[in-house]
């Protein structure tokens, strides 16, 4: 689905079903150098089980226009997209950088946010100075490094989006595509700088009205499961830990879906 | 396994795509000789069929053993995924049939395996897919042959029979300027000698029958996607960017930003044409892949010794191997194939078809058969076998002389191979 926000194209995948704003909504927000396709299994499942799904491409990513935004601004953008789509209520699901953006969107939506699911998250989401320097100097090398750190195995089953795909190769190709596709600057640097700069947890948490779930990877080398104490203090979330790395949606697609389903529920109608 | 850098090739050859079996603890990859896989519930079945969950349904579409092979070859090539097929020919057909239909056009190198040429020139033309053949070194011809309905450029990393080295960086640039992908047959080089995706190719296929399996025991193929080609931006591939009625209106390029080609190839081509691989075959190929780095190193080392011997022999008119300065692609080969130019090459015996036949019949270690890439050394005399219906003029136009011999160098002691060849050359001289 294509909308117009702030004068730019705003794309959201609707899960392979026509979008119906009268259904309970679920909004998926991807992380750095990613797009909607990282949520393909979870979003497609929910769209075929009674939910109105919007898996967004953030500004400057994939099919959406504009320039990459900081976390707070991106949260406003997501809240605006929910408004523009006609959804009255929506659960917000975000991964990594997208988890912080989903938090900001949930804060802005207040009572219209049904649930918040933060996947592969940490706070503060510090990025090492060495990685930021590397992505300025040699973005392909930085992508390779982040890709290696994001995947805990070369044999995740049943693979994503299906058998025969290399999760490691697919993730690298997607990050390269996003970096190459944004012609106006260094998207890697913009995204990782946004993660590093975000300091709005307490302010956002004060506005969040919905139940919160954290879905963490026990072998996550990007956002360590040990680095969520401030979030637990601020949001009192339910915590689900899966035996995988940072690329949770690909390494444990069913585990992530189950964690989301427990929050948003599904209906049998297809 | 991942640390702060990618594992090396040898490690991936052993581990990529496989982990100890969670059900049994089996360390080696199990052979899942099961046609189908049990659903947990009706709801689970429906979600698998509708691509809401990943998993196996029916072994024509996917199989756990085949998936290990697919993910391993994808890792070795640096691609996003792969599809195992019944043969290399099935992999080529799957690639073309996914991207092209009646009214489509392909530009292909003239330096192709005969089976690939047959498919393009005779068979696909019967289904409305036309091919223009161009000399692989003629970059202007590649460019000029592209039409508005062209869907694919296609060549071999090392072309048949003269080992023409495909200039993948330049040919892929021509393809990409026109919004068309480049498919390469990488059978002769394997990912150990060349990674075509790093050079600009978009799709790669192998006859896994050859070096990947390496033991002359199976027939199989693998089609790999590099994930870099932007099918949406091209504007030529409605098959990937518009709703597909054969799969609930799925728009493959929306479902997967980098992998729509593989999604459609599996959900249409593999499903409907049925050119799938047996899990037993996949397992045998995996056994070969695990030693691919060791074998390729030895294949190339032996080949260099044999080439050196033949190039200095009085009964030999010429050796077509790109590591020789006499080969027209010598400089290009040094750049694109620094680890070596493979283990299959041709040479010409001075004399007639009679000398060629006498040479073949005098060999004791080399096996006379129609295959390459075996661990055993192989030989064939095209003028008396694969091309026997051609007169000498027709042979010359195909780049084959009456005394042309094709060798596939195996893993035996190089000294024994050289003795065998020397004895056979003497026999040819006396005939």
How far does A149 lie from chain B, in Å, by closest CA?
Answer: 6
Residue B338 burial class via C-beta count within 10 angstroms: exposed 0-12, middle 13-18, buried 19 and up: exposed
What is the DSSP pairing of strand A90-95 with strand B105-109?
unpaired
- In degrees, to the nearest 5, what angle opens at C-alpha B88 toward C-alphas B87 and B92? 120
Residues in chain A: 270
- In degrees, to the nearest 5, what angle opens at C-alpha A243 toward C-alphas B51 and B279? 50
Q: Where are the domains of chain A?
A: 2-264
CB B81 within 8 A of CB A170: yes
pTM: 0.97
Give the pLDDT score at B193: 98
Give the pLDDT score at A270: 43
CB B56 within 8 A of CB B44: no
Task: Say yes or no to pLDDT of B240 above 60.
Answer: yes
Paired tokens of B203: 């799709």
Residue A19 per-residue DSSP state: -
Using CA atoms, how far apart are residues B17 and B29, in angstroms rounded to an integer?
10
B64:A41 CB<8 A: no
Edge-to-edge strands, sheet with B203-207: B81-85, B221-225, B203-207, B182-185, B150-156, B105-109, B130-134
Edge-to-edge strands, sheet with B344-349: B316-320, B344-349, B404-408, B378-380, B367-368
Residues of A with CB under 8 A from a CB of B: 13, 16, 35-37, 40-41, 44-45, 48, 62, 144-145, 148-149, 151-155, 157-166, 168-170, 173-174, 176-177, 245, 253-254, 257, 268, 270
Residues on chain B touching A164 (C-beta within 8 angstroms): 62, 66-67, 70-71, 74, 81-84, 262, 266
Give the pLDDT score at A269: 45
Give the pLDDT score at B79: 98
B226:A253 CB<8 A: no
A164:B70 CB<8 A: yes
Match 């194209």 to its residue by tokens: A9
What is the pLDDT averaged over residues A156-163?
94
Q: What is the CATH number of domain A2-264?
A: 3.40.50.1820
Cβ neighbour number for residue B202 with a 10 Å cutoff = 25
Paired tokens of B340: 């070596």
Residues on chain B touching A177 (C-beta within 8 angstroms): 227-228, 230, 257-258
Q: Which value does ipTM take for this structure? A: 0.96
Give the pLDDT score at B3: 64
Cis peptide before B380 (omega within 30 of 0): no
- Spell out the domains of chain B, with CATH numbers in brackets: 9-288 (3.40.640.10), 293-430 (3.90.1150.10)
Q: What is the mean pLDDT of chain B?
A: 95
Paired tokens of B209: 């029958």
Residues on chain A touching B249 (C-beta within 8 angstroms): 16
Residue pLDDT, tens place only, B203-226? 999 999 999 999 999 999 999 999
């Amino acid at each position: 689905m294509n909308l117009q926000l702030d004068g730019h194209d705003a794309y959201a995948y609707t899960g392979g079903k026509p979008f119906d704003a009268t259904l309970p909504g679920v909004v998926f927000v991807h992380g750095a150098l990613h797009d909607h396709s990282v949520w393909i299994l979870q979003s497609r499942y929910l769209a075929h089980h009674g939910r109105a799904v919007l898996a967004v491409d953030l500004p400057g990513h994939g099919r959406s226009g504009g320039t990459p935004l900081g976390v707070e601004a991106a949260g406003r953008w997501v809240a605006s997209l929910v408004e523009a789509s006609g959804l009255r209520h929506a659960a917000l699901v975000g991964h990594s950088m997208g988890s912080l953006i989903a938090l900001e969107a949930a804060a802005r939506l207040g009572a219209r946010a049904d649930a918040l699911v933060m996947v592969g998250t940490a706070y503060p989401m510090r990025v090492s100075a060495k990685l930021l320097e590397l992505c300025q100097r040699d973005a392909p090398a930085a992508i390779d490094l982040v890709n290696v750190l994001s995947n805990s195995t070369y044999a995740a089953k049943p693979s994503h989006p299906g058998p025969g795909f290399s999760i490691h190769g697919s993730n690298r190709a997607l990050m390269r595509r996003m970096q190459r596709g944004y012609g106006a600057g260094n998207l890697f640097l913009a995204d990782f700088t946004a993660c590093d700069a975000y300091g709005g947890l307490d302010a956002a948490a004060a506005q969040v009205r919905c139940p919160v779930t954290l879905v963490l990877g026990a072998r996550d080398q990007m956002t360590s499961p040990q680095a969520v104490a401030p979030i637990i203090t601020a949001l009192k979330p339910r915590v689900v830990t899966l035996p995988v790395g940072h690329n949770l949606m690909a390494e444990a697609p069913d585990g992530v879906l189950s964690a989301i389903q427990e929050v948003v529920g599904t209906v049998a109608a297809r | 396994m991942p640390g702060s850098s990618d594992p090396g090739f040898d490690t991936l050859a052993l581990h990529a795509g496989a982990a100890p079996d969670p059900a049994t603890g089996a360390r080696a990859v199990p052979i899942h000789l099961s046609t189908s896989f049990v659903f947990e519930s009706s709801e689970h079945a429906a979600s698998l069929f509708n691509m809401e969950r990943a998993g196996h349904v029916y072994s024509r579409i996917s199989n756990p053993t085949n998936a290990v092979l697919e993910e391993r070859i994808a890792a070795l090539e640096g691609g996003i995924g792969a599809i195992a097929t019944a043969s290399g020919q099935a992999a080529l057909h799957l690639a073309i049939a996914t991207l092209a239909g009646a009214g489509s056009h392909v530009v292909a190198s003239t330096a192709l395996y005969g089976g690939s040429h047959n498919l393009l020139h005779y068979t696909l033309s019967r289904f409305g897919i036309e091919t223009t053949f161009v000399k692989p070194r003629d970059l202007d011809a590649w460019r000029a042959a592209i039409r508005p309905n062209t869907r694919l450029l296609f060549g071999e990393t090392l072309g048949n029979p003269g080992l023409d080295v495909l200039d993948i960086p330049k040919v892929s640039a021509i393809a990409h300027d026109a919004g068309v992908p480049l498919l390469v047959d990488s059978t002769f080089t394997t990912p150990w000698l060349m990674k075509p995706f790093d050079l600009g190719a978009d799709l790669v296929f192998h006859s896994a029958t050859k070096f990947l399996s390496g033991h002359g025991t199976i027939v199989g193929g693998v089609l790999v996607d590099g994930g870099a080609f932007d099918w949406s931006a091209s504007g030529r591939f409605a098959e990937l960017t518009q709703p597909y009625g054969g799969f609930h209106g799925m728009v493959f390029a929306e479902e997967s930003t980098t992998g729509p080609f593989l999604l459609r190839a599996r959900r249409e081509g593999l499903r409907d044409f049925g050119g799938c691989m047996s899990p037993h075959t996949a397992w045998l190929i995996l056994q070969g892949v695990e030693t691919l780095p060791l074998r390729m190193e030895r294949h190339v080392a032996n080949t260099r010794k044999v080439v050196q011997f033949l190039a200095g022999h009085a009964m030999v008119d010429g050796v077509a191997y790109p590591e020789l300065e006499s080969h027209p692609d010598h400089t290009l080969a040094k750049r694109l194939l620094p680890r070596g130019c493979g283990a299959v090459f041709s040479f010409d015996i001075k004399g007639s078809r009679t000398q060629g036949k006498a040479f073949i019949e005098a060999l004791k270690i080399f096996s006379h058969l129609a295959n390459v890439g075996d661990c055993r050394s192989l030989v064939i005399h095209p003028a008396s076998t694969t091309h026997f219906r051609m007169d000498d003029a027709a042979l010359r136009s195909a780049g084959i002389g009456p005394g042309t011999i094709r060798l596939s160098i195996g893993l035996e002691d190089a000294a024994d191979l050289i003795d065998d060849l020397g004895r056979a050359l003497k026999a040819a001289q006396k005939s």
